[in-house]
A and B are shown apart, each in its own frame.
Chain A
Amino acid sequence: MSEGEGGRPHGGYRVYWVVWFWLLVITVLELGVVLVHVPRTLLAIMLVVLALMKAWLIIAYFMHLKYERLSFIYAVITPLFLGVILFFALVPDALDVLRLR
Chain B
Amino acid sequence: MASAEATQDQVLRSEWGGGRSPFAVGWPKLMMWLFLVQDTLTFAGLLTAYGFVRIAAGRWPVQEEIFNLYLVGFMSFVLICSSATMAVAVAASRAGERDRALRYLLYTVLGGLVFLGCQVYEWSHFIHEGARLFNNPWGVPLFSATFFIITGFHGAHVTAGVIYLLVTAVRHQRREIQPESVEIAGLYWHFVDLVWVFIFVLLYLL
Contacts and interface: CB of A to CB of B under 8 A. Distances in A.
Given A48-B201, A83-B41, A90 B48 contact: yes
B145 interface: no
Interface residues of B, number: 50
Interface string A6-49: 10000011001101100110010011001100000001100110
B58 A62 contact: no
Q: Which of A62, A71, A94 has the most CB of B within 10 A?
A: A62
A63 to B, nearest CB: 5
A31 to B, nearest CB: 5
A63 B198 CA distance: 17
Contacts of A27: 73, 76-77, 80, 200
B163 interface: no
B194 to A, nearest CB: 5
Per DSSP, chain A at the interface is helix
Interface stretch (B20-28, B116-124, B169-177): B20-28
Contacts of A20: 80-81, 83-84
B69 A34 contact: yes
Interface of B: 15-16, 22-25, 33-34, 36-38, 40-41, 44-45, 48, 51-53, 55-58, 64, 69, 73, 76-77, 80-81, 83-84, 86-88, 91-92, 183, 186-187, 190-191, 193-194, 197-198, 200-201, 205-206
Given A17-B84, A62-B86, A71-B23, A94 B15 contact: no
Top 10 A-B pairs ranked by shortest CB distance? Answer: A83-B44, A20-B84, A94-B55, A97-B56, A72-B23, A16-B87, A71-B15, A51-B201, A94-B52, A62-B190
Interface of A: 6, 12-13, 16-17, 19-20, 23-24, 27, 30-31, 34-35, 43-44, 47-48, 50-51, 54-55, 58-59, 61-64, 68-72, 75-76, 79-80, 82-83, 86-87, 90-91, 93-95, 97-98, 101
A48 B200 CA distance: 11
A55 B83 CA distance: 12
A43 B206 contact: yes
